[in-house]
Structure 1
Amino acid sequence: MASDLLSIAASGTRAARSALDITAQNIANASTEGYVRRSVQLSEVSASSGVLRPGDVSLSGVRVSGITRNADAVRQAEVRRTGSDLARANTDLAALKSTENAIEKAGVYEAIVGFEASLLQLSNNPTDPSLRAAAVAGAQTMADKFNIAADSLEAVGDGLRFDAAAKVEEANTIGSDLGRINLQLARTGENSSDRATLLDQRDLLLTKLSDIADVSTQFASNGTVTVRLGGSTGAVFVEGSASASLSVAEAADGTINFAVNGQAVTPTGGSLAGSAQALSYVAETRTRLDALADGIAATVNDAQSQGAALDGSDGQPLFTGMGAAGMSLAFTNGSLLATAPAGSDPSSRDASNLTDLRSALETGGAASGANALLFDISSRVSSRQTTQEALASIATAASESLKQQAGVDLDDEAANLLRFQLAFQASGRAMQVANDIFDTLLNIR
């Protein structure tokens, strides 16, 4: 015959041993990040019958034809997509909460209400030095609160820009690593253990990159991947062994822009998209805060210019500077508050100019403007929280689906250990039987 029991049994022991090795590898890496379950790919080995002996039974056992990764490209792509959306939402939500804290804890609204209350008390006795001092102190507190809010917003923006720069650096490192893996994959044999390890590393890096920015991938038959940032029409980031350079630039308003080798890209997913989105809202909030501060300052200064101070002199501007960050007091002497109409005698108790100021502040919506700003931020935080929770559920479901398909189940592996062990022992027993038959044939006289 073209084959014999001994060679068949020997091939069985080799195949069973390889299967046991792979099972042990799966068990050892059950908790390894990015590891995809392996299985041995077996194929039958058969030989042709002899030329002059067509009736021979031609069997030659089994061989290990390769190592298979239990990976699903569709599920992996879904994990990258949902993870990218969740990373964007997480970054955006965290920044919005920081923005809310910056405005709320600064106490701008309370300071405006306090300033208006001090003006109301002063109108009851406009010549009282203590009430004038309290009004100036209220104005000082309000200016300080605007300064604090502006500084806090700037800190939020600085943090977002710092994190974005760190993520850009991380993305460039991942791009270089993907280029190196592409080169190794092109040189590695198909269905080998080394290729499986490289593919695990490739997929893990793609998942990490998708958490930074949305990626579009195109896989070649040898396992190499071409990566674009910013969707399927975005700039090529990795192709073959070459990787491009991702960069970030800050605009005049504090927002950020990205480019790949000088080509502008606009991520729609990942933490970079969340940072860019959040910085746009921080800039919008700062603009509204500046407008509120400038509006109050202009209203007060206009009223001052139309009134007379306690000594009868023309009223002078109370506030100087531009925006919330630059708002400050021009004087701290309460007697300079122009509570009386222009041309009034010194120590006039006519508070009609002060009444006009209070009316102008109310009409201009000083306090209501601060309250509306807080309400808008809180509403956006609430909306983003709902979106983030929904995206987290979707991402978790996608991750669990991939884990069930590609992850290591220790119960299954324990069963495989027993199955392949029995196969190994059975093949060994077959080899023993073949040896006994051979000895018997030799001992025939």
Structure 2
Amino acid sequence: MASDLLSIGLSGAKAARIGLDVTAQNISNAGTDGYVRRAIGLAEVASTGYNQNVRDVSLSGVRVERIVRNADAFRQSEVRRTGAETARANAEVKGLGNIESALEQSGVYPAITGFESALQKLKEDPVDTSLRASVIEAARTMTATFQIASKEMDAVGKGLQFEAADGVTQINRIAGELARTNLRLARAADASSDQTALLDQRDKLLADLSQYGDIGTTLAQDGSVTVTLGSTSPATTLVSGGSTTALALTTAADGTVDYTLGGTPLALAGGSLAGQQQALDKLAQLRGDLDGLAGSIVTTVNSAQGGGTDRDGNPGANLLSGSSAATIALATGDPAKIATAPSGAPKNSRDASNLDALRSALSTADPAGKMDAILFDISATVSGRTVTRDALATISDAAKTALAAQTGVDLDAEGVNLVRYQQAFQASGRVMQVAASIFDSLLQIR
């Protein structure tokens, strides 16, 4: 078998130099987010047709066949899937926590019990001006807390809607970047550093995209990716080659949001957009419950008022106005207008039978109990979702750790590679020196 020492030494030196370059890239990017460790794939260079036998095989050195990215597609997909679920849970818990704070800090529950306590106190002396004034102020406080709760919930809703709209913008931006990366991958040469950098960029964009929605991916031979978004069946394509489909958001009258992809309704099961959508759905339910409670209090109080007589002997008038948490208000600030006496009673009557009827009606309606149920509903929901979020975060962290163990850079191993490739480079150089000495000796033979 014939061997070309110079070609063998040259090919070995080139391969070792590329190995040194790749190792240097690994070391310099050890802390770079999204970087995947590289390695070189080597293959023998063989030639045929030497000497008299065309079947003679000459081993002529080594060549770099490819630059290998040490990344497993399944593990990357698992990180994206678990990351999307965790992002959804985080966004939902954050939104629900803000709703819980809005309801608890508004003080609706203690204001309702305060109003009921003031009515009970008025029973001691139905014509006492100070006790009547206390009832009016307690009613004013109660209506104000309902309005505060409504405004705070509106603020939470607007914040969730803004975050959802920003998420839609980010998905469309990332989709555009992925489409451009696909076009560049289609033109990139195999085993090039440019291709591996583009693949890193592709994987990072996919990881970023999975934080906003649950995605599905299909990889082509050239490294380009087709991305579907959401759990709608059949799957709706977000990115295909160099083209994208626009994601849009619509807001309903009750503050909930829906998504469309290319005009087609889209259901999301993962990502922050799904979590914000679920939090807005819960907010709409709780807002309806609070509005129903406020309307019930207004109806109950005013109905009892209409069946009695105020301190001046006039028929009872409405004490409250409005029909929702945002519109409930005090209809009158005059303490004398509280109808404590029964219908037809004279002025300054101490007969408190209508006051008893009002308290009995409130006891039946049980506004404090209903408000307590609303608070328990959101509190229990937050607690349950928090447990789910923590479990999903643990699973996601485990998937990230497994991927990092495979794709991360081990500086100790890279240090060994530096020495190994340096020695390989020196050995290849020595082979070329020996070949040159042999040829010089042959040329000097006479």
TM bucket, shorter chain: over 0.9
Q: Which runs of 5+ in 1 are unaligned?
A: none
- Identify the residue that residue 407 of structure 2 maps to in structure 1: 406
In structure 1, C-alpha distance between the alignment counterparts of 2:369 and 2:312, rounded to whole Å: 34
Q: TM-score, normalised by structure 2?
A: 0.97
Structure 2 CA distance for aligned equivalents of residues 54 and 65 of structure 1:
25
Question: How many angstroms does 1:366 deviate by?
Answer: 0.9
Q: After alignment, is 170-179 or 433-442 more displaced?
A: 433-442
> Structure 1 32/220 Cα, relative in aligned 2: closer, same or farther at 3 Å?
same
2: CA distance, partners of 1:383 / 1:30: 39
Q: Deviations over 1:100-123 (max 9, x none)?
A: 000000000000011111111111
Provide the C-alpha distance between the structure 1 equivalents of 2:4 and 2:174, rounded to a whole number of angstroms: 53
- Partner of 1:63, secondary structure, is strand
Alignment of 1:437 onto 2:438: yes
Alignment of 1:83-98 (within 5 A): 83-98=83-98
Give, as a single letter, the amino acid of the residue that structure 1 aligns with 2:193: S
Q: Distance in 2 between matches of 1:298 and 1:56?
A: 103
Aligned ranges 1:85-124 → 2 under 5 Å:
85-124=85-124
Q: Does 1:287 align with 2:288?
A: yes
Q: Deviations over 1:281-325 (max 9, x none)?
A: 000000000111111111100100001000110000111112000
CA 1:50/1:155 → structure 2, altered by over 3 Å: closer, same or farther?
Answer: same
Letter in 2 for 1:39: A
Given the alignment of the two structures, is residue 206 of structure 1 paired with residue 182 of structure 2, yes or no?
Answer: no
Per the alignment, residue 10 of structure 2 pairs with 10
Match of 1:175 in 2: 175
Question: How far apart are the structure 1 equivalents of 2:64 and 2:53?
Answer: 29
Per the alignment, do residues 57 and 88 of structure 1 end up closer, same or farther by CA in structure 2, a change over 3 Å counting?
closer
Deviations 1:371-400 (A, max 9, x none): 111111111111011001000000000011
Give, in angstroms, the shift of residue 196 of structure 1: 1.0
- 1:291-370 paired onto structure 2 within 5 Å: 291-370=292-371
Deviation at 1:264, TM superposition (A): 0.8
Which deviations, in whole Å up to 9, do the C-alpha atoms of 1:339-383 show, x marking residues without a partner? 111110100011111111112111211111111111111111110
SS in 1 for 2:76: helix
Tell me the distance in 2 between the aligned counterparts of 1:165 and 1:54.
70
Deviates most, 181-190 or 152-161 = 181-190
Aligned-partner SS, 1:248:
strand
Q: Distance in 1 between matches of 2:185 and 2:299?
A: 67
Aligned residue number for residue 269 of structure 2: 268
Q: Distance in 2 between matches of 1:58 and 1:246?
A: 59
**TM-score of the two chains, using structure 1 as the length reference:** 0.98
| Equivalent in the alignment of 2:251 | 250
How big is each residue's C-alpha offset from its partner over 1:69-90, in whole Å with a ceiling of 9 and x where there is no partner? 1111100110110000000000
Contact 1:168 1:247 in 2 (8 A): yes
| Identity %, equivalent residues | 52
User: What is the letter of the counterpart of residue 86 of structure 2?
Assistant: L
CA distance in 2, matches of 1:203, 1:267: 21
Cα deviation, residue 56, structure 1: 6.5
In the alignment, residue 379 of structure 2 is paired with which amino acid? S
For each residue in 1:214-261, what CA deviation from the matched residue of structure 2 results, as whole angstroms up to 9, or x when unmatched?
111111111111111113633211111011111000011110000111
Q: Which amino acid aligns with 2:215?
A: V
User: What is the CA-CA distance between 1:49 and the residue it aligns to?
Assistant: 4.3
1:43 maps to what in 2?
43
Bigger Cα displacement from structure 2, 150-159 vs 182-191: 182-191
Determine helix, strand or coil for the equivalent of 1:348: coil
1:428 aligns with 2:429: yes
1:234·1:265 contact (CA, 8 Å) conserved in 2?
no
Separation in 1, partners of 2:51, 2:419? 42
Deviation larger for 42-51 or 324-333: 42-51
8 A Cα contact 1:2 1:49, kept in partner? no
Provide the alpha-carbon RMSD of the alignment.
Answer: 1.3
Separation in structure 1 between the aligned mates of residue 113 and residue 138 of structure 2, nearest angstrom? 9
Partner of 1:184: 184
